[in-house]
Amino acid sequence: MKIVVCIKQVVTRDWQVRPDEARTWIRDGDAEFEMNEPDAYALEAALRLREAQGGEVIAVSAGPARVAQVLREALARGADRALHVEGDGLARADALVVADALAAAIGPESPDLVLTGLQSDDMGFGQTGVILAERLGVPHATIIMDVQVEGGALRVKRELEGGWFQWLQMPLPALLTIQSGINQLRYATLKGIMAAKKKEIRAVAAPAAQPGQQVVDLRAPEKQKQTRMIDGAPADAARELVRALREDARVVAS
């Protein structure tokens, strides 16, 4: 079974986000980067399926030269080989451009299954996997909590709203977007890190693409603190407090 896992490199969660001078992206020149958490769970799901079904796991990432870091990490965790879709602009590209770049690299591999994280920790589109399935011409399912292979087909568990779940039967090939927390992540061992140095990372040129949307203004949330005194008789002050919480702050339901 050939399984492709799409992995994105994102800035670490504890890094202080600062917009660049153009206010269209962040100052990531001195940032620290890590593997997107939902993609880490997708990688773990792929490794477990390979252990049960046999085959290989191929890690794919799109972006500048620095994304080789997360590809090496994926190889150290157990992926067999990797594809690097090269493009400096892909780190800040929209879901359509990224999906097109990934599809160009993944298509020739003819995988049985493609896994992505549900969404990225930076842009949070939640659409790259869905668009990628359309570009590859395969069925897809989102917010997956469990994956089972039965008789050459898939049986998957989807998370719905209100604590409900849905089981689906799907043919192969297919694409799934994986929910965080569905399994226990493994981490790279010293043996895995040494073995990763000998595994292949093949560079693939990203196709030319015109973005469908662009960031026109980016700013970090401003911390604000405001104190308001409510005067008057206790009963009147209490009524005004309730009104302010309900209508102004909107922290009390009507």
C-beta separation of 110 from 2 below 8 A: yes
By CB atoms closer than 10 A (0-12, 13-18, 19+), residue 177 is: buried
Split at pLDDT 50, 70, 90, the class of 254 is low
- The domain of 248 spans 224-254
Task: Indicate if 97 and 139 belong to the same structural domain.
Answer: yes
Task: Indicate if 112 and 82 belong to the same structural domain.
Answer: yes
212 domain-assigned: no
- What does the pLDDT look like over 213-247, one tens digit per residue? 878 887 777 777 778 889 999 999 999 999 888 88
Task: Indicate if 180 and 238 belong to the same structural domain.
Answer: no
Say whether 4 sits in a helix, a strand or coil: strand
Report, as an integer, the average pLDDT of 7-25. 81
Task: Indicate if 33 and 63 belong to the same structural domain.
Answer: yes
Tell me which amino acid residue 108 is: P
Query: How far is it, in rounded angstroms, from Cα 179 to Cα 183?
Result: 10
The answer, yes or no, to whether residue 198 has pLDDT greater than 70, is yes
The answer, yes or no, to whether residue 147 has pLDDT greater than 80, is yes
Domain holding 185: CATH number?
Answer: 3.40.50.620
Say whether 130 sits in a helix, a strand or coil: helix
Task: Indicate if 108 and 232 belong to the same structural domain.
Answer: no
Cα separations (Å) of 65 from 97, 207, 239? 18, 16, 60
Task: Indicate if 234 and 191 belong to the same structural domain.
Answer: no
Q: How far apart are the first and last CA of the chain?
A: 54
- What does the pLDDT look like over 65-120, one tens digit per residue? 999 999 999 999 999 999 999 988 888 888 999 999 999 999 999 999 999 999 98
Task: Indicate if 142 and 16 belong to the same structural domain.
Answer: yes
Number of C-beta neighbours around residue 57 at 10 A: 28
> What pLDDT does 78 receive?
95
Please, which residues bridge with residue 203 across strands? Answer: 84
210 domain-assigned: no
Task: Indicate if 180 and 246 belong to the same structural domain.
Answer: no
DSSP secondary structure string for all residues of 182-237: SSPPP---HHHHHHHTTS-EEEEEPPP---S-------PPPP--------S-HHHH
Task: Indicate if 155 and 64 belong to the same structural domain.
Answer: yes
The answer, yes or no, to whether residue 182 has pLDDT greater than 80, is yes
Task: Indicate if 246 and 152 belong to the same structural domain.
Answer: no
Query: How far is it, in rounded angstroms, from Cα 55 to Cα 119?
Result: 26
216 domain-assigned: no
117 domain-assigned: yes
Bridge pairing between strands 140-150 and 153-159: antiparallel
81 domain-assigned: yes
Task: Indicate if 35 and 71 belong to the same structural domain.
Answer: yes
Looking at the 3D structure of the chain, how many domains does it have? 2
50 domain-assigned: yes
pTM for the predicted model, two decimal places: 0.82
